[in-house]
Amino acid sequence: MTPATRQEVLGLYRKVLQIAKNWQSASGQREETMREKEYIRNEARTLFRKNKNVTDPELIKQCIEECEARIEIGLHYNIPYPRPIHLPPMGLAHKQGRTLRHQEKLRKISKPIYLKSHDEVS
């Protein structure tokens, strides 16, 4: 990891912790605000620690983009949790065969960047 990339990652981590410190839930209830603050801190710790040994520059870039996307979406919607994706159900495919594999591949490709790590942690 280059020193510039390291500084960028540390800056993102500080930004997330600052957001958690100043977070106010949409409902304004104290308990919910505390729960959401704790979720933001735990999610940041978990994901940054999980990816601390990543050395591939392309993978580092993807992680940075995901972090920035999750920050922007969280601030925009005032929801710290990842927003779900809405895809049509796979009910039309047969239980086996090329159609099912093709739909599973399309689902994986169409997953938004801000949800790439969410399934791995949850």
pLDDT of residue 122: 47
- Amino acid at the residue 75: L
pLDDT of residue 16: 96
Where is mean pLDDT largest: 23-27, 85-89, 99-103? 23-27
pLDDT of residue 83: 72
Band the pLDDT of 101: cuts 50, 70, 90. confident
The Cβ of residue 35 has, within 10 Å, a number of other Cβ atoms equal to: 13
Extract the tokens encoding 11: 């800056």
- What's the mean pLDDT in 18-27? 94
Q: What single string gives the DSSP state of each residue in 84-117?
A: PP----STTS-SSSHHHHHHHHHHHHHS-GGGTT
pLDDT of residue 48: 94
Q: What is the pLDDT of residues 37-92, one digit of tens each?
A: 999 999 999 999 999 999 999 999 999 999 998 999 899 989 998 776 665 555 55
Q: Report the number of secondary-structure helices (H) and strands (E) in the chain.
A: 5, 0
Distance (Å, rounded) from C-alpha 31 to C-alpha 58?
Answer: 39
- What's the mean pLDDT in 4-27? 95
Tell me the pLDDT of the chain averaged across its residues: 82
Residue count of the chain, please give it. Answer: 122
99 pLDDT exceeds 80? no
113 pLDDT exceeds 70? no
Extract the tokens encoding 83: 């927003």
